[in-house]
Chains A and B, each alone.
Chain A
Amino acid sequence: GENVEQHPSTLSVQEGDSAVIKCTYSDSASNYFPWYKQELGKRPQLIIDIRSNVGEKKDQRIAVTLNKTAKHFSLHITETQPEDSAVYFCAAKGGSTLGRLYFGRGTQLTVWP
């Protein structure tokens, strides 16, 4: 099956700085890569996603890039704010059906005011 690696596990940045979280995947048939933000005790919230036919996608301060050849994708958050502090998970949808997602281990992002 698919294997998703995520780095770093923790990330601390100053308010206003950028944050980058990187993930790699193993299954070249994977075709969908969402990113989730999870606050303590809450459900994961989909913040952005990218499909394998696109190299980059942006939504305001959040962007995701995908390199299919290298099998890695990254989340970029610019102008970080304290409310961006949360755990972020990357995921990959494998080449099989049913829509199962394989998750990375998560990154605890802390934005200091």
Chain B
Amino acid sequence: GAVVSQHPSRVICKSGTSVKIECRSLDFQATTMFWYRQFPKKSLMLMATSNEGSKATYEQGVEKDKFLINHASLTLSTLTVTSAHPEDSSFYICSARQGGTFFGQGTRLTVV
């Protein structure tokens, strides 16, 4: 299947700092990518839909100023968690479509 690469796989940051997560489609172009958050033993919760060249579409209850999404090219979308707090600690995962939907490796964010 198609390859979606996410980086970093793990990150630990201090409260108040910002963290950027990258999602790349390696062998195809993706005009749309999706960002999810997953809590332990829970399903994937869609945070936002990232659209190349335009603003992201955020799900209800997701703070757009806190979770900044940039989709500047057809192969790269970034999620920046701004002013991170311990409650932002979670598993963040992106996906893109090429026929089926394929996921990045996920990023385990820990805010201390």
Contact = CB atoms under 8 A, between A and B. Distances in A.
Interface in B30-74: 32, 34, 41-44, 46, 49
A41 interface: yes
A25 interface: no
Contacts of A42: 105-106
B97 interface: yes
B108 A49 contact: no
Main secondary structure of the interface of B (DSSP, over half): strand
Interface string A70-102: 000000000000000001010100000011110
A43 B93 contact: yes
A99 B105 CA distance: 20
What bracket does the count of chain B residues touching chain A fall in?
A: 20 to 34
Nearest to B95: A101
A76 to B, nearest CB: 19
A106 B45 CA distance: 12
Contact of A98 (B42, B49, B93): B49
A105 B100 CA distance: 20
Interface residues of A, number: 21
A101 B96 CA distance: 11
Given A46-B100, A104-B43, A106-B42, A99 B1 contact: no
Given A36-B103, A46-B101, A49-B100, 7 more contacts: A41-B108, A43-B6, A43-B104, A91-B101, A98-B32, A99-B32, A106-B43
19 contacts: A41-B106, A41-B108, A42-B105, A42-B106, A43-B93, A43-B106, A44-B103, A46-B101, A46-B102, A87-B41, A89-B43, A99-B32, A99-B101, A100-B49, A101-B101, A103-B43, A106-B41, A106-B42, A106-B43
Contact of A99 (B43, B97, B103): B97
Contacts of B95: 101
B24 to A, nearest CB: 14
Contacts of B93: 43-44
A22 to B, nearest CB: 16
Interface in B1-44: 1, 6, 32, 34, 41-44
